Amino acid sequence: MGDFNASVGQQIAEEQAIRQFGWGEHNERGQMLVNFCEARKIVIGNTLFKKGNGRKWTWRRANGETLNEIDFVLSSHQEILTDASVLNKFTTGSDHHLVIARINVRGSQTQWH
């Protein structure tokens, strides 16, 4: 889980790191993150789960007009991720929103924030 300052966008062609629910467009740093994940067989967990736009973006520019999804949950074990989402109503004093992931390890659910 981390602030990668990368926009991975939607899945392109044969990419396995991004799944069907990517948001936005690739940028240069996003492509670097995708390449890193592809080489290591890592999935970008945020792209596994369908969410409304308000539950996808993680960063807002100070002018309030630009929204991006740049904070991600990465996993080399896709099957343990049961959800990844953004806590958009929780104020942290930051221009980033919190990302939450639910994982299932050995049959019991655990939350990481």
Per-residue pLDDT, averaged over 34-61, amounts to 88
Tokens coding 87: 């806590």
Of 66, 55, 47, 41, the closest CA to residue 90 belongs to 55
Looking at per-residue pLDDT, the higher value among 52 and 28 belongs to 28
For residue 113, pLDDT beyond 60: no
- Amino acid present at 66: T
Query: What pLDDT shows up at residue 96?
Result: 79
Which distant-in-sequence residues (6+ apart) come within 8 Å of 64 by Cβ?
Answer: none
Per residue in 1-40, pLDDT (tens digit) is 667 788 898 888 888 999 998 888 889 999 999 999 999 9
Strand, helix or coil for residue 104: strand
For residue 76, pLDDT beyond 80: yes
